[in-house]
Amino acid sequence: MSGISKNELKLVSDIEFRKKYYFSRQEIRHHFLNQKQMTNTIYTMRKKGRIIRLSKTKYFLVPIKARQGKWTDYPLIISDEMFNGQDYFVGGWYAAHYWKLTDQIPMQVDVFTTKRQGKINLLNSRFVFHRTTSQRIKTKSVVRKIGKHPFKILSKREAIKWIKSRK
């Protein structure tokens, strides 16, 4: 891993001290003189593998304690941070596994959202995005917590229906 500049060190130490590894550009703005300096610092830290981009405005800082720059987190927390807790829910096999309806460990996280579609690999997890309506998000999902962090997941009743439709 390459060296770290004074601005990068200031940013990393502040985020590590606050233990807020998920952050937005707004939250770190006070560390920089202008927008260009912030963009350049984020760019170089992404090249070095210290920052991972989750969405247009949301990033994840790989902690200093990470060996060889590799780190992982709960996929449910990652998906919640990607969408800022809005307009999404986790479904499919990952929801069935969460509700203990299957013993198989899912290979991917199916995220149903109104915002995007496609596939992405982040923090050693594969996320597959599916389009849905905001009405379905309201009626089919429930809010649960891992530690103090809330996330949205397909309700147990809907997960049972989904599994029965797969047979």
46-105 tens-digit pLDDT: 998 889 999 888 999 888 776 666 666 789 998 998 998 899 999 999 999 999 999 988
Q: Indicate if 81 and 46 belong to the same structural domain.
A: no
Among 45, 66, 87, identify where a domain stops.
Answer: 66
Length of the chain: 167
Report yes or no on 143 lying in a domain: yes
Report yes or no on 79 lying in a domain: yes
In sequence order, the β-bridge partners of residue 154 are 141
Take residue 117 and report the two structure tokens written for it.
Answer: 């579609």
Q: What's the number of domains the chain is made of?
A: 2
pLDDT in tens, 92-147: 999 999 999 999 889 999 999 998 889 999 878 899 999 999 999 999 999 999 98
Q: Indicate if 151 and 81 belong to the same structural domain.
A: yes
Report yes or no on 1 lying in a domain: no
Q: Indicate if 60 and 94 belong to the same structural domain.
A: no
Strands 109-113 and 88-91: antiparallel
Q: Indicate if 81 and 162 belong to the same structural domain.
A: yes
Q: Indicate if 85 and 18 belong to the same structural domain.
A: no
CB 123 within 8 A of CB 76: no
Q: Which domain holds residue 21?
A: 6-66
CATH of the domain at 25: 1.10.10
Q: Indicate if 60 and 95 belong to the same structural domain.
A: no
Q: What is the pTM of this model?
A: 0.82
Q: Indicate if 133 and 82 belong to the same structural domain.
A: yes
Q: Indicate if 85 and 46 belong to the same structural domain.
A: no
Residue type, 26: Q
